[in-house]
């Protein structure tokens, strides 16, 4: 009498290709106040005031700061 055999199910996983991330970089200028920069970072990128303030200080002292990494479409949304 033949023995029953078990055939294991092999589960394959499909991994989507990861979307590359881009840095949103804020550059310093002499045209905008701390208040304006903090307000815009909050409105455009939905950052809390404390985070926006820290980024405003960093851009004023170093000349630039990375606001956030995100997908290209999101990064271009906040441009200009």
Q: What is the separation of C-alpha 2 from the centre of its chain, rounded to a whole number of angstroms?
A: 60
Structural domains for the chain? 22-77 (3.30.1390.10)
User: What is the residue-wise DSSP string for 50-79?
Assistant: HHHHHHHHHHHHHSEEEEEEE-HHHHHHT-
pTM above 0.85, yes or no: no
Rounded-to-integer distance, Cα 78 and Cα 66, Å: 13
pLDDT tens string, the chain, 80 residues long: the values are: 667 676 667 776 666 678 899 999 999 999 999 999 999 999 999 999 999 999 999 999 999 999 999 999 888 876 76
């Amino acid at each position: 009498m033949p023995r029953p055999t078990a055939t294991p199910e092999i589960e394959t996983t499909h991994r989507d290709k990861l979307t590359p991330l881009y840095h949103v970089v804020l550059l310093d200028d002499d045209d905008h106040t701390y208040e304006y920069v903090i307000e815009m970072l909050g409105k455009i990128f939905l950052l809390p005031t404390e985070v926006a303030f820290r980024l405003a200080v960093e851009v004023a002292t170093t000349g630039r700061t990375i606001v956030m990494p995100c997908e290209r479409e999101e990064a271009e949304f906040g441009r200009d």
